[in-house]
Structure 1
Amino acid sequence: MPRPQDAKTIPSYRILPKLLRDPLEAIEEIGRLSAGEIVRLGIGTFRPYLVTRPEHVQHVLNNAENYRREGLLWKPLSRLIGEPSGADPAWPLKKGTYKALFSGPNIASFTDDVARAIVEAVDDLGRRAVGRPVDAADEMTRLVYRAITQLLVGDKITLDEADDLGRVMATATTSSFRSRMLLPFTPFWLPLPGDRAFHRAVQAVDDLIFPIVRESRRGGADGGDIVSRLIRARDENGRGLDEQTIRDGAVALFVAATETSVTILTFLWMVLDARPDIAARLYEEIDQVVGTDHPARSHLSELRYAKMVTQEVLRLFSPGWMLPRTVVADDVIDGVRIRKGSIIVVSPYLTNRLPDVWPDPEVFDPERFAPGQSRDRFAFLTFGGGPHQCIGSFFFTIETQLIMAAMLSRYQPVIHGSPSIKPQLWLTLKPRERIQFLLRPRHAASNV
């Protein structure tokens, strides 16, 4: 057996200038230079490993004990949602609660409620966006939060409070994260751009969520929402979760259940505007399946092309562009020595674009996800994999299909101006420019 080799290093002069000027351009250049190999990135004294091949990614994500979600790169996120699962002693209890919430029977029971909330939110959007451009990210945040709020906190929050929560969460996830992640060794006492806005947003989140937790405890917490479920959760010794942990668990699920949806929907309207051929086929399917009805759970199995389009948007614009892990013990991956104490980075953005796995990877082609297509499980990495795979991925698909059906059965979103579809890096992938659209009624009888 050949002896393990050290990973090749991409030197800092090939990375740092672009990383400082345009982080996404730097990531794409790193992808080209690595060509699927395991490499180390020379970023000063910070030299993380990068893995992109599906088989290498599988090794990392399936060995969660040795590749933990903890360390410097997770600290910015922990200030919003609490400790990551690798460092959170309450994680097994929270994970079981999340799984129960997103189990098949529960999803079936609340899908129609979510569908009704989506229809009401689209009605409200239609009254404001027909005939004048509105901010796509703001409106998708409002729509998604109204759809998800009933599931996460039940009737413990008003629509106005849900809108407020969406706004402050959006601020929290786009304020200081990029500077903190690009400068991971910077101590928190040293201010960076966006820190002040981030702290204000986290305080606003606390002001909304902690009262819900306290009121739920006083009221008996007998609901099916995530706050009530976390309050009722008990470990094998009968111990429950404290107030801070319940708050963190609820906020973490809000972020997981909304960030991906808002990002994908914002990019979706741009794709449909640029690709009328794909839009026409999507409209045809929705007209045949939904018609003049409101979308409901019964329509989902027939919205096949809508699901394919959603998956292709997820491939090209994977919101979670980087999944860092801390290496606990020395390891070898495909003959390459991985040293303990290092950071290893999995990049869904790069894995989802490997040219030998995804031919013409920059081309938007929903047929990649047509029934009968097969590929390595870890080649499509948007929802991660292994023990920490995103629990809400199934719900995300349902939610997005319903939103697409509710919007496109009545309206044609028209992009205002000519914004670039090129994304940029924040905590998640975001549009590079402000995206605006207006809604053009598709039928004379559309509700406005």
Structure 2
Amino acid sequence: MHDPAFPAYVPFATEPLGLMGSLRAARTNLLSILPELAVRQPMVSGRTGIRWHMVMEPGAIRRILLENVNNYPKSKATKNILRPAIGDSLFIAEDAHWRWQRRTAAPVFSHRNVQSLGPIMIAAAQRSADRIAASNGRAVDLMEEMVRTTFDVISDVTFSGEGSFDSDAVHRSIDAYIAAAGKVSILDMLGVPDWVPRPSRFTSGPVVAQMKQVADQAIVERRKRGASAVPDLLDMLLSGQDPETKRKMNTAELRDNLLTFIVAGHETTALTLAWSTYLCAFAPEVQDKARAEIADVTGGGPVKTEHVGDLSYLRMIVDEALRLYPPAGILSRTAKESDVLCGRDIHPGDTVMLPVYALHRHHDLWKNPNAFDPERFADRKAVDRYAYLPFGDGPRICIGASFAIQEAVLILATLLQRFRFDLVAGRPPEPVMILTLRPDTGVWLTATPV
């Protein structure tokens, strides 16, 4: 049991788990493989079939993500899990194949384009508030509600709400795929070559095929119909081209990136919002202060896109939620060539992990690290850039980070303007990570109109 003075957390392992113990832990909750040493030392190394290193020292992390980034591609295990579903999209691709896709997609997430999507985000938040109001004081699972809300946003942003794309079916397919294939295989932990099939992933083939067929059909139909009067994400991807090579994405490349954006574009923000509402209920004084700021900024009127920059305390809550519960709790890389990190030799083929969950709770980097304290982010410049990685960093920083932050602030502001959220006794959320860090039992809160 964790200390009730702190919001929900996963205790760190105090004893070595061994190969089979690590496998069992990784298949139920990846966070449980993280040792207590990971929040007290700059680097922890070991061998579980393959050599591995957990790196928590900001300077070494900077080397991995920025200075020597080409030496640390995404791990083979990560690619084994995701490639069948999203191909060689931006999330997985490396080197030149990644660079041209990034250049092609970057304009889609420009500041101007993201700002223009604010009204869609606010409209989805208002629909969510109406659904919550209909609960009439009964407990509501804010995780489920935020998944629905952010999926509304990504569907409208991607397909202009035209209804020709069954985004719910795609989401269900992705979830089914992760459930079947997303868990770590003992073959990955033993370092068995990629060409050896992972049995758990055979069962997911029909699910993936159906998901891709739906996306391909949407792309073909849009090509026939042409762009909307106000271009949506699919329109912009269809018209986009690499400014250097003039290359455009073919249907398979469009589909793989579209599926990546649909899943990542709502999953991470839904998690951030669910954890943020939980934290506001956990600390009522924080919630009251946020509500007062919203009233001051909006003058009692509706939340608008232009308010985002003035809701500084609300942004601090979002930042602190991302510190305590980073959606990507562990980043994994595979070293291509020899290197040295924290004075320790890295060999080709070694797995190099950035345990973001541990980094964000490291005792040398954060004061009272398990506590919920939004004021840590009152001066963002005082936070070491490589001690805080909710979206990664370096050239592969999440392309949709500004989209996610704006969406989280606008939706949270809309909800807090209308409700006071309170915890439900006996129903705490349980942080569990398989691919993302989710509240496994939901986030159950009561919502009282204010």
TM (normalized to structure 1)?
Answer: 0.85
Distance 1:181 1:251 in 2: 28
Aligned to 2:53: 49
CA drift at 1:403:
0.6
Distance 2:178 2:232 in 1: 23
CA drift at 1:33:
5.6
Aligned to 1:364: 372
CA drift at 1:11:
9.6
Aligned to 2:263: 255
Distance 1:372 1:71 in 2: 34
Query: Could you tell me whether the CA contact under 8 Å between 2:282 and 2:423 is conserved in 1?
Result: no
- Please say which of residues 293-302 and 234-243 is displaced more in the overlay: 234-243
Distance 2:240 2:371 in 1: 46
CA drift at 1:178:
2.8
- Please say which of residues 433-442 and 386-395 is displaced more in the overlay: 433-442
CA drift at 1:296:
1.0
Aligned to 1:445: none
Distance 2:95 2:222 in 1: 23
Distance 2:75 2:184 in 1: 18
**In structure 2, do the counterparts of structure 1 residues 269 and 209 end up closer, same or farther at CA, with 3 Å as the change threshold?**
same
Aligned to 2:79: 74
Q: Does 1:136 align with 2:142?
A: yes
Q: 2:132 aligns with which of 122, 126, 144?
A: 126
CA drift at 1:20:
2.1
Q: 2:183 aligns with which of 178, 183, 200?
A: 178
CA drift at 1:191:
3.3
Q: 2:315 aligns with which of 282, 307, 312?
A: 307
For residue 81 of structure 1, what is the amino acid of its counterpart?
Answer: I
Distance 1:206 1:103 in 2: 27
CA drift at 1:145:
1.0
Aligned to 1:224: 231
The 5 A counterparts of 1:168-317 are 168-180=173-185, 183-184=188-189, 189-192=197-200, 196=203, 198-199=204-205, 201-221=207-227, 224-235=231-242, 236-290=244-298, 292-317=300-325
Distance 2:307 2:186 in 1: 41
Aligned to 1:60: 64
Distance 1:274 1:200 in 2: 42
- Please say which of residues 198-207 and 249-258 is displaced more in the overlay: 198-207
Query: Could you tell me whether the CA contact under 8 Å between 2:40 and 2:363 is conserved in 1?
Result: no
Provide Cα deviations, 1:14-60, integer angstroms capped at 9, x if missing partner: 675366256456334x24267333332322x1222211111111100
Query: Could you tell me whether the CA contact under 8 Å between 1:174 and 1:427 is conserved in 2?
Result: no
Q: Any idea what SS the aligned residue of 2:70 has? A: coil
CA drift at 1:115:
2.1
Q: Any idea what SS the aligned residue of 1:364 has? A: coil
> Structure 1: any 5+ residue segments left out of the alignment?
1-9, 443-448
Query: Could you tell me whether the CA contact under 8 Å between 2:432 and 2:440 is conserved in 1?
Result: yes
CA drift at 1:12:
5.7
Distance 1:24 1:69 in 2: 17
Q: Any idea what SS the aligned residue of 1:130 has? A: coil
Q: Any idea what SS the aligned residue of 1:437 has? A: strand
Aligned length: 427
Q: 1:95 aligns with which of 96, 102, 114?
A: 102
The 5 A counterparts of 1:291-440 are 292-371=300-379, 374-440=382-448
Distance 1:204 1:59 in 2: 40
For residue 308 of structure 1, what is the amino acid of its counterpart?
Answer: M
> Structure 2: any 5+ residue segments left out of the alignment?
1-13
Distance 2:316 2:15 in 1: 39
Aligned to 2:7: none
Aligned to 2:117: 110
Distance 2:197 2:434 in 1: 21
Query: Could you tell me whether the CA contact under 8 Å between 1:142 and 1:166 is conserved in 2?
Result: no
**In structure 2, do the counterparts of structure 1 residues 330 and 183 end up closer, same or farther at CA, with 3 Å as the change threshold?**
closer
Aligned to 2:4: none
Provide Cα deviations, 1:114-148, integer angstroms capped at 9, x if missing partner: 3233323433x235433333433221111001122
CA drift at 1:311:
0.3
Distance 2:318 2:269 in 1: 10
**In structure 2, do the counterparts of structure 1 residues 348 and 226 end up closer, same or farther at CA, with 3 Å as the change threshold?**
same
Distance 2:381 2:95 in 1: 38
**In structure 2, do the counterparts of structure 1 residues 372 and 381 end up closer, same or farther at CA, with 3 Å as the change threshold?**
closer
**In structure 2, do the counterparts of structure 1 residues 127 and 162 end up closer, same or farther at CA, with 3 Å as the change threshold?**
farther
Aligned to 2:156: 150
Aligned-pair identity in percent equals 26
Distance 1:201 1:265 in 2: 28
Distance 1:417 1:204 in 2: 41
Provide Cα deviations, 1:205-225, integer angstroms capped at 9, x if missing partner: 324322211111112346632
CA drift at 1:338:
0.8
For residue 428 of structure 1, what is the amino acid of its counterpart?
Answer: T
- Please say which of residues 238-247 and 284-293 is displaced more in the overlay: 284-293
Q: Any idea what SS the aligned residue of 1:48 has? A: strand
Distance 2:138 2:213 in 1: 34
User: Relative contact order: is structure 1 or structure 2 higher (C-alpha 8 Å, sep ≥ 6)?
Assistant: 2
Q: Any idea what SS the aligned residue of 1:260 has? A: helix
Distance 2:417 2:198 in 1: 50
RMSD between superposed Cα atoms in Å: 2.9
